[in-house]
Structure formats: structure tokens, C-alpha cells
Chains A and B, each alone.
Chain A
Amino acid sequence: MSGASIDAPNAPLLDVRGLTKSFAATRALDGVDLTLRAGEIHALLGENGAGKSTLIKVVTGVIRRDAGTVALDGLPIMPHSAEEASKAGIATVYQEVNLLPNLSVAQNLFLGRQPTRFGFVREAEMRRRARVLLRDFGLDIDVGAPLGNYSVAVQHIAAIARAVDMSARVLILDEPTASLDAHEVDTLFAVMRQLAARGIGILFVTHFLDQVYAVTDRITVLRNGRLVGERLTAELPRMELVRMMLGRELIEATAERAEGSGGTAAAEPYAVFENFGKAGYVAPFDLTVRSGEVVGLAGLLGSGRTETTRLVFGAERADSGTATVAGRPVRLTSPAEAVRHGFGYCPEERKTEGVVAELTVRENIVLALQAKRGVLKPLSRREQDEIARRFIRLLDIRPPDPERPIGLLSGGNQQKALLARWLATEPRLLILDEPTRGIDVGAHAEIIRLIRQLCTEGMALLVVSSELEEIVTYADRVIVLRDRAQVASLEGGAVTVSAILAAIAADTPQAA
């Protein structure tokens, strides 16, 4: 916990009131309040789509707000760019450090404001200042070396040093620890505490709960664009925090468990992974998916859920373990290989990894089937039309126009089209990464219904979801991940929201 503020206690430094922002039909922020006090470290928490990044972007002027106010030191501000925000005293350090790895550390610290004489940069003076500046942050490094030579932690500290040196009062750290090891995290925390002691307000976005408890004073939780609440870290039990992040009305939703779930253990395993993993990506795991069974993957953002699915689908190559499909050992070296074994994969990142925006709905739907058949066996236009029409009707894709570029469809309809792409290949194992994220309520329910139906028809499903109430209604088994490793496997009657929450929140020592 950081030291108490040296300024007037509890004076709001950054005051956000009623912030609202919509993108097309979706409301990314809905009347959100946030109060950051001078000298405090304040965690901003929430799952994907909760509105954290939209909030940060609005505060830093990257996007405009629809309604609400932002005040710095009591004065309303309306920055129009990151540069303006930074001039006003609000600096942001992103997970992907926005510095230049090819320039020296010193140049990075002073780019655009290097000390000069007769037009020439005073290199020695700049380096001296850089050394002095970094020493404040406990860093004693060769500032003449390229920034890219140093670890991500050093790069983060350099970014923070630059921001603070440019007179930042508010420092926003957007997932700075995602790629740091335990020791580096400690170094960063020491820097954060020191800055807070100087009266700087720090807004800290992370998905590691241990870190929240290690360093923050106060927590604000967002969910689905709304404020869930603001609490003092010391007064908020871990379990309660996870509930705030994931739960809706956490009345025992387990009662809704689908009938017949958990009774399929006798079915043949379709895909078996043993000791499957990739160093530095996700720890080796065992996973069995049976035909007619839904296996859920749960965990917080960054826990390794997506990584697990990518490994299973061959999008990343495993460097340990074996995979067996339908009783035969296989090597999953590429998605094309996985598709041949009857796998299908709907990625979480629909826009960048799912749809080909420019192509029509029809072309997007037939893409995987065509890839599976090979180049030389083209689907005739009639077959394509037939497939497209069938799935548009089956999944109620709107508008029901197969010739519309898919980029013009809403998120939910794009998601349905992607499901259609894989259903057309008649997969034996379908991997769905957050299939219901960012789509409207109607499509949401339909997709859940579809998952259940496919399962009944004998398909094996591996589903990643942050919606725990949802996952318990259809999953026969739930595997819980934390810090890129499997930590629990719940089966049958043990699949309850509270059991999953408990597994996620379990306070075991964090493996670095």
C-alpha cells in the first residue's frame, strides 16, 4: 500500500462524472463516475468490454465523449488529443510501450525537447539529465544504448519517467505488468509508490488480482460500460471483488444447469491433449474433450484462456506434449491441419482474426469449407448460395442478404456468420472464444441455444467465456486458468459459479 497523500487528503485530482459514450448501437460507457485522488494508486478493473479502455481514451482525448464531465484539479478539461491531455498533465503508459525501441534511452526520454546548442543536440548533457532522471526511479543503466536492448520493465519505467518529467499529475498505467516477471513487477511497484508519495495520482489497469491487493489503495470496477462500485482495497475481500467483476445478480444461478449435463463421461473422447503446452505462452496442460460434451474454459482476462485455444487449434505450435484426435496421435502444426482433423475455431478478435470485412457474407461463410475441400474442388456458385441461404435462415443472420460485405453487419450477425463458417464444415470439435462478447441480447440467447443444440447433436465444444452464469448452464466441465496455467477442473455437480469464482480468486503464491 502506498503512503498517504502529502497533499490535502482526499482532494479529488481527476474527477469524472456521468461519462457516456456510444459506438453505433453499443453503449461502451454509461454514466460512469471515477474519482482519482492525489497521491493514491487506484485500480480500474473489469473484464473485456467493461469499458476500461474507452474510459481511458475519453479521459486522454483520443476519443470524444457523448456526455459527462472530466475535471482536473476542479477545472473542467476537454482534451482533443493525447498530446493535449499530456500537456494538461494526464499521461498514459500503455502495455505496448509507446516509445521507440530503435532510439537510445536518452533520446526516448527527451525526444522533441532535447537540450540543444546552435541547433545541435547536446548529447552529453542529454545523457546526464537522463541518468539523473532515471536514478530517481532506481534505474542505473547505459542511457546511450537503444531502448529495445532493455527489458519491457525498463521500457515501462522509461515511459513513466518521460511522462512524469513532462509534469504529469495523473498517470494512467494501462496493463503495464502483463509482460513482466515477478521481480520486474516489484520494481515497477516501487516506482509507483514513490510517485504516489510525490502526490501524483495513478490509475492502474491490470487483470492480476494479486497485484491489485499488493499496490492499490482504492478500486473502481466497471462491467458492461457501467460503474459497479468504488471500494477501498483494504476493505474489499477478494471473492467479493471477483463477483463485482464477473457476476451479475449472483443469486445461485447454478440452479439453471442444463439437464443431462455431466452425464456424458462415458462418451468417446474426441480430442485428448496431454502435457500440451508452449514455453512462455501457456503452461503444459491435460485436456480431454468428448463428443457431445461442452468443456468451458474460465479465468480472468490474461489467464491463458485464448492462448489455450490457439494452441489446441494449431495457430500456435505446442513445444511439449501430445495430441490425440479420434484415437490417433496427430501433430497440430497449423490451423489448416486442425481443420482437416475436424476442428473449427471462432476467435475472440472477430474483426482482426475472424471476418474478412471486404468479402460478402456468402464468401465468409464458405471460406473454411472451401479451404477444407482444397483449391481444386471449388464450391459452385449454386452450392455457395445454397449454403449461405441455409445458414442465414438457420442462424437468423440479418439482414438476410448473402451478397452484403460482412463488414457492414452488426457484431452479433458477424459472429453468427463466423459460426456458420464453421458449422458448414461439419466440425467434430468446435472451439469458441467468447462467442457472446459484444453482441446484442437477442443474438446472445440464440448463440447459447445453439451451443446446447450442437452439443446434443454430438459435437464436442470447447468454449471460453467470461460470463460465468452462462458457462455453468451449458458446460459439462469447466477448466479454470490463472496466470497461464490450469488451476482447477470442475466436473458435474461441482460446476457452480461460486466454485469457479473460488478457483479464480484462490490466493496461491503467484508463479512468475
Chain B
Amino acid sequence: MNRLLPVLVTTAVFVAGFIACSVQFPNFASTRVVANLLTDNAFLGIVAVGMTFVIISGGIDLSVGSVIGFTTVFLALAIERLGMPPLVAFAVILLICAAFGAAMGAAIQYFELPPFIVTLAGLFLARGASFLMSTESIAINAPLYGHISDYALRLPGGGRLTIIAMIMLAVFVLGGLLLHGTRFGANVYALGGSRTSTALMGVRVGAATIRIYMLSSVLAGLSGIVFTFYTSAGYSLSAVGVELDTIAAVVIGGTMLTGGYGFMFGTFVGVLIQGLIQTYITFDGSLSSWWTKIATGMLLFAFIAFQQILVVLARRPVRGIAGARPS
């Protein structure tokens, strides 16, 4: 099985889509559109980086949307009501998220529970906690927020590369280095290949699992911070269902939901494809936003079916007696 094939397909889909949009709408192919694409999907991209680690390791994290929501409410309360300096509040929330993710990872590892159900409990818990803190939308007026939204890198052609877009790009680069360049990254792939074999090869599976979920939650927290830059508010209902968009972005990016295969770059393109669909709908004007979900669902199906075919083809015995033992 060619590991690069899914990513190439994803990239081709994005490029073809972008060209089609540019042909249809004359203003489309501009740095402005591209920069907005990055800015609008920054929070999705950041959380998708974490989800990529989780999914490649063979797990899933349903709690990320709730963690984003929790983060926004926490920041709004800490900064506006408690008068905490924003940077301190950021540090505190990232620590909370790290502890939260570590707890989920530990539950998965030591109680041998399916990740899906543990992170489901996490989803309830984080969302419930944010409701308990406040059910109202709280505006954040700290000066830092103003500075951040004022500052942007001017691109030729009128585009503004905002801070939050830059944060996302940085997270993707660092995430890519971590995944593809370190022992930890290799362990993530190994876990997705086979937990048992990985353990037999002497990798400390428990520590790796805990770190993976910790990373996912911390990035969800960072995504929540970016979300407040974007909206300048904290709201307990923000980012509902983002876990699904995130999983979809990762899968459309060519990562196998069953674990073991995938690339950080693919996730980046997957996020861009989702953004592209939204941008197209905005440009078109007559289509409604629900087409995003339908189109995402169709792409999701196409990629899952595509991967299933690759798996079936790969499983077919190549020659002679290979793999012919009764199973």
C-alpha cells in the first residue's frame, strides 16, 4: 500500500477545488481569500493537529469541542471577572487541559476502556463544567486581544496573515516535526500499527498513550485560546460539534481512522478543504451553510471507502501460500 497515495489524492482534490472556484469566481484566487481561509479555520487546524496524533495512534478524542468551549468560558471569567492577566490565564488553562487529557489517557490505558467512551465522558464533563461556570456569552475586552486582532502580516495582493493564522501554521509545523521527526512520533505510529507488538518491542505504551491524549487536550485548549481571539468572547456553547469537523478533517486528510497511517500535511489539506467548501458557499451566496456538512459527509465516505479498498487490496495474499493459515 502506497502510504502517500491518500495524501496525494487529498491534495489533488484541494487543488482541483481551488482551481474550479477560481474559474467560477474571478476574485477567488487572491491572497485575501487564502489568508481568510487560514484565519477562519485556525482553531480547527490547531485542534486537528492533536487529533491527528490521537487517530494515528488508533484512538479517538470526542472531547475536543467541549474542551474548546470550556477554555473560552474559563478565559472570559478569569480575565474579565477575576482580573487575571491574559498570559497567566493562558498558562493556567493549558495546565488544566493537560491534566484533563492525561486523566483520559490514563483511564484508557489502565482501565482498558475504549477511547471513544472515555473521551465521551470527557465531552460531557468539559461541556457540563463550562455550563456550570456560565451559560452566558461573556465579552473579553483585555487590551491584549485588541493588539492581537490589530496585528497582521500584510501580504502582496491585500491579504492579511493574522496572528491566529500564524499560530496555526506554527502548530502544524511543530506538530509535523513531532510526529515525523521524533521517537515519540514513531511510537504514535507504532501504537496505531499494533499495541501488543509495540509493547513487546519495549515501548512504554502507557506513557505514550497518556502523552497523546494530553497533547490533544492541550492543543484543544490552545485552539480555545485562538477561538477567543477570533470571537473576543467566552461562551459555553461555542465549538459544539467541532470534534466531528476535526475528525472529518483528519480523515479527509488521508489518515486512517483505524490508526497507523497518516501525515500531518494531509490534515492541513483536510482542514483547508473544509474551509474551501465554506468559502465556496459564501462566494456562491445562494447555497446554504448546511451543504458544508453534506459535502463533508460525502468526502468522508469517499475517503473511508477508498481506504477500505486499499486495506482489502493490501490484505489479499500476494503469492502462493502466504497468509493462508486458518485464521
Contact = CB atoms under 8 A, between A and B. Distances in A.
A binds B: yes
Interface string A262-275: 00000000000000
Contact of B320 (A114, A146, A181): A181
Given A100-B189, A112-B183, A179 B200 contact: no
Interface string A384-425: 000000000000000000000000000000000000000000
B157 interface: no
A100 B196 contact: no
B320 A512 contact: yes
Contacts of A178: 325
Q: Which of A100, A151, A179, A281 is the most central at the interface, judged by chain B CB atoms within 10 Å of its CB?
A: A100
A467 B187 CA distance: 46
Contact of A103 (B181, B193, B322): B193
B31 interface: no
A280 B193 contact: no
Most buried by B among A99, A149, A181: A99
A100 B177 CA distance: 21
B82 interface: no
B182 A120 contact: yes
B200 A82 contact: yes
A82 B196 CA distance: 11
Nearest to B56: A102
Interface string A8-49: 000000000000000000000000000000000000000000
A442 interface: no
B1 A148 contact: yes
Nearest to A92: B200
B6 interface: no
A490 B117 CA distance: 58
A114 B183 contact: yes
Q: Give the interface residue-count category, chain A.
A: 35 or more
Contacts of A116: 182-183
B202 interface: yes
A7 interface: no
Given A102-B192, A103-B193, A121 B181 contact: yes
A261 to B, nearest CB: 29
A152 interface: yes
Contacts of A364: none
B314 A121 contact: no
A179 B190 contact: no
A170 B94 CA distance: 48
A317 interface: no
B201 A112 contact: yes
Counting chain A CB atoms within 10 Å of each CB, which of B185, B198, B319, B325 scores highest? Answer: B325
A94 to B, nearest CB: 9
Interface string A161-182: 0100000000000000011010
B202 A112 contact: yes
B26 interface: no
Given A82-B200, A100-B194, A102-B192, A111 B186 contact: yes
B326 A179 contact: no
Contacts of B320: 181, 280, 512
A307 interface: yes
B317 A280 contact: yes
Contact of A280 (B186, B203, B324): B324
**Residue with the highest number of chain A CB atoms closer than 10 Å, among B203, B261, B320:** B320
Given A102-B261, A120-B177, 11 more contacts: A98-B196, A100-B197, A102-B260, A103-B190, A111-B187, A111-B202, A121-B182, A146-B3, A149-B1, A152-B323, A512-B320
4 shortest interchain CB distances as A-B pairs: A100-B193, A102-B260, A102-B193, A98-B197
29 contacts: A83-B200, A98-B194, A98-B196, A98-B200, A102-B3, A102-B192, A102-B261, A103-B193, A111-B201, A111-B202, A111-B203, A112-B183, A112-B201, A114-B183, A116-B183, A120-B181, A121-B181, A121-B185, A179-B321, A179-B324, A179-B325, A280-B319, A281-B324, A306-B326, A307-B324, A307-B326, A484-B321, A484-B324, A512-B320
Interface of B: 1, 3, 177, 181-183, 185-187, 189-190, 192-194, 196-198, 200-203, 260-261, 314, 317-326
